[in-house]
Structures are given as structure tokens and as C-alpha cells.
Chains A and B, each alone.
Chain A
């Protein structure tokens, strides 16, 4: 039986996180409670079944989204989608080194994200 795709949403702007969560859920995905820090994201992948992590780069907390993604990839090889206002070459290079599914430049709308996730898993559900 197909299982819903589980998305870890890491975004420190509550309004943006709320909008993305609603739209992704409407598109048929399961979105965990959005997290505002990289540290919380790293902890979350240890205890949750995360199929894809949607990561902002500039976050609250000590570590940024790229560093958090590095830890997440090394822990469980989770696919990463970055979404950020940062377009600096060094940030982009650090992010690209993790071979992410996508690197979306803000402003990011739900319309930008859903095709990327759909391309990865199909429409909201995956086969297990």
C-alpha cells in the first residue's frame, strides 16, 4: 500500500512555514511540525521517518541549514531541498557539495516546491 511521503520542513519564518505546510499537506504529503533550527532538524531525523528535508539555509540556532543538512545526509542520507534567499557562491557551493535534489531561491512559493517533490516521489504518496 502506498505510504505518504514524510517531509521535514526546516524554516524559521513561521508564516512561510505555515503556508508551505498547508500547501504541501493539501498536495497529499505528510509534513512534520516545522522546525526553526538546524539542531532540531538533526535530532528530528534520528527519531522520525523523513523522506525528504525541505531546508532553509539561514536559520535560528548555532548551525545553518547547510551544516544541518550535512549532518542529516551523513546520518540517514535523506534527500535535501534547499530554499534560501542566499545566492552567494560560497553558500551555493557548500550546498551543492551535498548534491541536493534542488536549490530554490526565495521567494519560494508552494508552486515551486510541489513539482520538485512530485518529481522525487510522485504525487504525495510513495510505494513501500
Chain B
């Protein structure tokens, strides 16, 4: 027996393949058999079917794409490298009142603006340059449109066209305008409220001043003057709020300066005799901080103006405002170089209205600390947080 004999197992397999091929030939599934031991089976019919299947699939995908393209509510155009419309979707008719035939081959500016050249700030030209999405909102009559352009680039990142989308944003713009109007109305309302509060305070002040004029008692007049001054300090906060942009905060530094100058005017201070020195860091604060702060300052500055420089003595009242480095505390220092407090004056036990008010406001309302020091006059240093209040307007 020679060694080139085919093993039985392999012979069986070849026989089975040959029978299968013959059966396939008989059934018409195979059109051509090439070779004997390892035959190549050619199926022409399958190739035709595959081609048909691929064509059907291509057709299905094209229809699906077209359906999707036409289902989008924005007018979408595919532009060529010359920025002419190659394809447009159905929404073009609805948004721009043009048919696909009317826009085909035209430049977008011809269709949208009716111009022969691109408009200034044209998003398409910007996209061509930046190769990024660019957009523009424009008003056409009573309608608002948003044009968004995305670039189409080749493998070398060269501009070969663009996707040009036009969205009707009239509804959004109308909502925005309504919101803006509503906001303006509310802003106006709040300003009006501040205005009326300040006016009412002026009426109260006028009443107190009138009452003071009708009384002969000097102590009563002083009390009325003191109350008047306190109300004025509060009214000034409302004036600042009325003028402020955000309606909830005022600049404490500006307020302090105005209040001190107002008090100097009220107490008819001769400018060359008593000078006011300011070293104030800009700190915006809420009304909840500004009003108590103003009341304390009113007491301290009034006190210094009335008592620190007797017998037309000259001197200086300095006010320093800082936010501590930890950003938590506001530190306010009011110092004068006057005669200081009377001997044996006990700050902790004082029953004067002014001092009790100061301590109550700083410790209770502002939840801070206040310290008095006597050295070349009187220095009052207080510190408090402004974080325990939140904006309510």
C-alpha cells in the first residue's frame, strides 16, 4: 500500500461535500463549480440578491434620513463650499416661506435677507473662518430667527460646506420680553416702596422737628432732635437702596461717609474746626446690616460732635472700615482725639440711652462685639458678621 492513499475519514468528508454541491446544483442554488477535490462554488443568484438587498437598504436609509430631515422643526440647509444651498428640508417652507426649488442653488443671504452680499456679522462667513459653530439672532418684522451654522470639513480639515439651521425663536423672545417686563415692574415696585418709606420717614422727621419748635424745654428738644437724627440715618439707607442697582445691598463705605457728613451738617460743625477722616474699604451690605450699623454710627458720631470737642476746640473724627482677612468679620472703628469720656465713666454700667442702644444693637442685633478705648480721645471698635442675613429682595 502506498502512503498517498486518502484516509477514509477525509474521503468521507470529500464525498459529502461533492454530494452537497451536486444537490445544490440540482436545486439551482449553485451556478458554477470550479475544481474537483477543493471545488469553488459560485452562486450568481446570491450576488444578485445581495445587490438587491443592498439597494433596498440604501433606499430605506435614504428615506429614513429624508423623513428625519423633514421632521425637524428648524429650516436646515446643506450648503456647498460656495455657500449655495444643496439640500433643504420641509421646515424651510414653514419658517422662510420658500419651497425647496426656490432655495436650491441660492446663497443663504439671498433667501433670508434678500441681499446680494452677506450681511455684516454673517454667521456663515464666521464659521468658514473659525471652522466652528457660529450663530446670530435676527429680527425680521415681528419674527425672531436664530441662524446657527456648523462647518462641514474634509479629511484635511478644509471647509467643504456647512449645515445652516434657521430656528424661529419668536416665542422664546416673547417670553423673554414678558419676563423682562415683569422684572422691571417688580423693580419699579420695590423702588417705589423704598421711595415711600423714605418719604414717610421725612414726614415723621418733620413732625418731630415741628414738635421741637413748639416746646420750650431744652431736654425735650434734644430728645426730639436725637430721634430725628436716628430716623434720618435710617432714611438714608432707604435713599441708598432706592439708588442702588441691585436693590438689596448698599455700599457701607458710601453710606458711612454720607451719614457722617450729614451729621456734621446737622450739628453745624465748622469744617476747619472738626475734620472727618475716612479710611473706608468698599463693602456692600444688606439693609439688615446697614440700618443697625447706621444707628450705631449715628450715636457715636453725634456723641463725638456734641461732646468730644468742647469750647470750640478743634479735632478730628476718623472712621475706618475693613473686612477682616478671614472675610467673615466687618471691623468698624470710630475714633476722636477729643477730651474722652468723663472720669469714672463705666461703659458696662452706663444707663445712657445712647450707649445702651449702641451695645444692644451691636451685641444683640449684629451679634458682634464692641470695645471702647480711651487713648488720646475715645476709640470705639466694633466687629460683626454680615453672613447671618440673606438677601430677601
Residues of chain A at the chain B interface (Cβ within 8 Å):
13, 15-16, 18-19, 22, 85-87, 105-111
Contacts and interface: CB of A to CB of B under 8 A. Distances in A.
The 6 closest A-B pairs by CB, nearest first: A107-B202, A19-B206, A15-B206, A16-B206, A19-B210, A15-B203
Interface string B191-234: 00001001101110111011001000000000000000000100
B243 interface: yes
Contacts of A16: 202-203, 206
Contacts of A108: 202
Contacts of A18: 206, 210
Contacts of B232: 107
22 contacts: A13-B202, A13-B203, A15-B210, A16-B203, A16-B206, A18-B206, A18-B210, A19-B206, A19-B213, A22-B213, A85-B202, A85-B239, A85-B242, A87-B239, A87-B243, A106-B202, A107-B201, A107-B205, A107-B235, A109-B266, A110-B209, A111-B266
A111 B268 CA distance: 9
B265 interface: yes
Given A13-B203, A107-B202, A87 B242 contact: yes
Interface residues of B, number: 20
Contact of B198 (A22, A106, A111): A106
Contacts of B213: 19, 22
A15 B239 CA distance: 20
A72 B199 CA distance: 25
Contacts of B209: 19, 109-110
Contacts of B205: 107, 109
Contact of B265 (A22, A87, A111): A111
Nearest to B205: A107
Given A22-B213, A87-B242, A105-B239, A15 B199 contact: no
A109 B203 CA distance: 11
Contacts of A106: 198-199, 202, 239
Contacts, number: 49
A85 B195 contact: yes
A27 to B, nearest CB: 13
Contacts of B235: 107
Contact of A15 (B207, B243, B265, B268): B207
Nearest to B201: A107
B323 to A, nearest CB: 28
Contacts of B239: 85, 87, 105-107
A22 B210 contact: yes
Nearest to B213: A22
Nearest to B236: A107
A19 B210 CA distance: 6
B33 to A, nearest CB: 98
A13 B242 contact: no
A87 B213 CA distance: 30
Interface string B280-319: 0000000000000000000000000000000000000000
Q: Which of A19, A105, A111 gathers the greatest number of chain B CB atoms within 10 Å?
A: A19
Contacts of A111: 265-266, 268
A107 B265 contact: no
Contacts of B265: 111
B264 to A, nearest CB: 12
B198 A107 contact: yes
B336 to A, nearest CB: 23
Contacts of B203: 13, 15-16
Most buried by A among B199, B235, B243, B265: B199
A127 B243 CA distance: 41
Contacts of B210: 15, 18-19, 22
Contacts of A105: 239
A52 to B, nearest CB: 21
- Residue from the set B195, B202, B207, B210 with the largest chain A CB neighbour count within 10 Å: B202
Contacts of B199: 13, 85, 106
Most buried by A among B198, B201, B205, B266: B205
Contacts of A13: 199, 202-203, 206
